């Protein structure tokens, strides 16, 4: 992943290619309730990542034999639009998206109080409309807001971000250029209130000390993202209605 490619200078004069500092997130935009026919939905932008999440349910679980008599079943589908990347992505599920769906579902699972809706299914659909690295973290952020919007009982929101290593430096929230030419990428998801980590993956290599520094950086950023997610939900109902 690192060797054999032309060397690209990712850090110039202490700044990254897009002008960010090492511990800076890309700009975030969150909109709640963007889909009229979904029970809950959220549009989430992180830099050039554009992601929409839709939640349907709790609703009747099909097929019946997959029902859980004691709790709801959460189904999560991560899907990249064919036009979301530079080279057209072959549509449909593939090894990568199946894995991301699984880990994302498991990242949200600890906060969803599934026992309130036995025998039902909660369907979460995450569509990546435009991708610029870190889409699984954006998907988790969007899905978490959409689940709250759908009125699903939850203990907390989940927030997620990636850290990585480029040109020997630990930096927050890699973009596609940094991801492709960097040395490591590590997505993290966590419950901000309790600092509980619900997803941790790593691609590439980090020293123990670098890993610890990166994790701390990611956890700090998750708190920032949490505040934005919360504000987006609150804002939706605080706008006054003019008479």
Partner 1 sequence: MYKVVVPGDFISEAASRAGEGTYVEDGKVYAMRYGIVDERGGIKVVPLSGKYVPAEGDVVIGRIAEISFPFWIVDIASPYEARLHMSEFADTRDEKIEFGSMSRFLDLDELIVAKVTNVDAVMRVDLALKEDFNLRSGGRLIEIPHTKVPRVIGRSGSMVKMLKEKCNCFIFIAKNGRIWVRGREDNMNLATEAILKIASESHTSGLTDRVADFLDSLKREKGRR
Site for partner 1 (CB under 8 A): which residue of 113, 115, 168, 223? Answer: 113
Q: Which of 26, 54, 57, 80 binds partner 1 (CB under 8 A)?
A: 57
Residue 151 is given by DSSP the state T
98 binds partner 1 (CB under 8 A): no
Q: Quick one: which segment of 80-88, 114-122, 129-137, 167-175 binds partner 1 (CB under 8 A)?
A: 114-122
According to CB under 8 A, which residues from 163 to 222 bind partner 1? 191, 193
CA distances from 95 to 77, 99, 105, 202 (A): 13, 6, 16, 17
String of contacts with partner 1 for each residue 34-53, x by CB under 8 A: -----xx-------------
By the rule CB under 8 A, 149 interacts with partner 1 = yes
Establish how many alpha carbons lie within 13 A of residue 121's alpha carbon, considering only the half-sphere containing its beta carbon. Answer: 14
Instruction: State how far the Cα of 158 lies from the Cα of 42, in Å rounded to an integer.
Output: 14
CA–CA dist 139, 130 (Å, integer): 12
H or E stretch at 143: helix 135-149
Which residue of 79, 120, 130, 201 would you call a contact of partner 1, by CB under 8 A?
120
Q: Under a CB-based contact definition with an 8 Å cutoff, are residues 90 and 41 in contact?
A: no
Closest-CA residue to 22 (of 182, 146, 143, 135):
182
Reading the block at residue 67, the tokens are 């029902």
Smallest separation (angstroms) from partner 1 to the CB of 233: 5
Decide whether 18 or 235 has the Cβ nearer to partner 1: 235
Residue range at the interface with partner 1 (CB under 8 A); choices 15-23, 84-92, 111-119, 214-222: 111-119
User: Concatenated DSSP letters for 155-207?
Assistant: S---EEEEEEEETTEEEES--HHHHHHSSEEEEEEEETTTTEEEEE--EE---
Under the binding rule (CB under 8 A), the answer on residue 227 touching partner 1 is no
Q: Which is nearer to partner 1, 90 or 243 (CB)?
A: 243
Return the closest-CA partner of residue 229 out of 143, 154, 168: 143
Q: Which stretch binds partner 1 (CB under 8 A): 86-94, 117-125, 135-143, 202-210?
A: 117-125
Q: Which of residues 152-171 bind partner 1 (CB under 8 A)?
A: 152-157
- By the criterion CB under 8 A, which residues form the site for partner 1? 39-40, 57-60, 69, 111, 113, 117-120, 148-157, 191, 193, 229-230, 233-234, 237-238, 240-241, 243
């Amino acid at each position: 992943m690192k060797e054999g490619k032309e060397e690209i200078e990712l850090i110039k004069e202490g700044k990254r290619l897009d002008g960010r500092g090492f511990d800076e997130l890309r700009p975030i935009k969150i909109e709640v309730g963007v889909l009229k026919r979904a029970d809950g939905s959220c549009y989430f932008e992180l830099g050039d990542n554009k992601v929409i999440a839709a939640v349907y349910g709790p609703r009747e679980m099909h097929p019946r034999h997959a029902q859980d008599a004691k709790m709801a079943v959460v189904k999560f589908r991560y899907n990249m639009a064919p036009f979301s990347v530079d080279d057209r992505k072959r549509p449909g599920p593939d090894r990568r998206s199946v894995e991301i769906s699984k880990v994302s579902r498991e990242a949200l699972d600890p906060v969803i109080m599934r026992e309130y809706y036995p025998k039902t299914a909660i369907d979460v659909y995450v569509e990546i409309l435009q991708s610029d690295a870190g889409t699984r973290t954006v998907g988790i952020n969007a899905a978490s807001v959409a689940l709250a919007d759908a009125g699903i009982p939850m203990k907390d929101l989940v927030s997620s971000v990636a850290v990585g290593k480029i040109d020997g430096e630990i930096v927050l929230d890699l973009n596609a250029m940094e991801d492709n030419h960097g040395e490591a990428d590590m997505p993290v998801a966590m419950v901000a209130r309790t600092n509980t980590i619900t997803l941790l993956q790593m691609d590439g290599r980090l020293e123990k000390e670098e890993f610890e520094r990166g994790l701390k950086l990611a956890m700090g950023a998750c708190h920032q993202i949490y505040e934005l997610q919360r504000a987006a939900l609150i804002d939706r109902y605080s706008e006054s209605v003019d008479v």
